[in-house]
């Protein structure tokens, strides 16, 4: 009698575990799809930031070159 109860409880727990794993896999699939879409939507904005960063770096390099061509301690006027 106790054996059937233990087997029944074990089978019920196994079914609950199986359903939980299936639900987690479904959510993982949905999450990965959402992350992929987010990456696709952010890519143009990230490229714009990268190009702006490159332009700023070029401007700083230009300022550094102009400053190094002046005498030490000289200030750049705009």
- 77 within a domain of the structure (yes/no): no
pLDDT for 75 = 64
Task: Answer yes or no: is pLDDT of 74 > 80.
Answer: no
Number of domains in the chain: 1
Cα 72 from Cα 14, distance rounded (Å):
78
- Look at residue 61 and give its three-state secondary structure: helix
Contact (CB, 8 A) for 70 and 63: no
Q: What pLDDT is stored for residue 47 in this prediction?
A: 94
Can you tell me the distance from the alpha carbon of 58 to that of 13, in angstroms, rounded to the nearest whole number?
Answer: 64
Tens digit of pLDDT for each residue in 12-53?
Answer: 999 999 999 999 999 999 999 999 999 999 999 999 999 999
Is residue 48, in this structure, part of any structural domain at all?
A: yes
Evaluate whether residue 8 is within a structural domain: no
Average pLDDT of the segment spanning 55-71: 81
């Amino acid at each position: 009698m106790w054996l059937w109860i233990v087997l029944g409880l074990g089978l019920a727990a196994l079914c609950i575990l199986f359903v939980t794993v299936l639900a987690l896999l479904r959510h993982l699939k949905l999450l990965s799809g959402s992350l992929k879409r987010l990456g696709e939507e952010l890519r143009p904005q990230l490229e714009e930031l990268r190009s702006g960063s490159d332009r700023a770096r070029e401007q700083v390099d230009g300022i550094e070159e102009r400053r190094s061509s002046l005498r030490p301690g000289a200030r750049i006027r705009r």
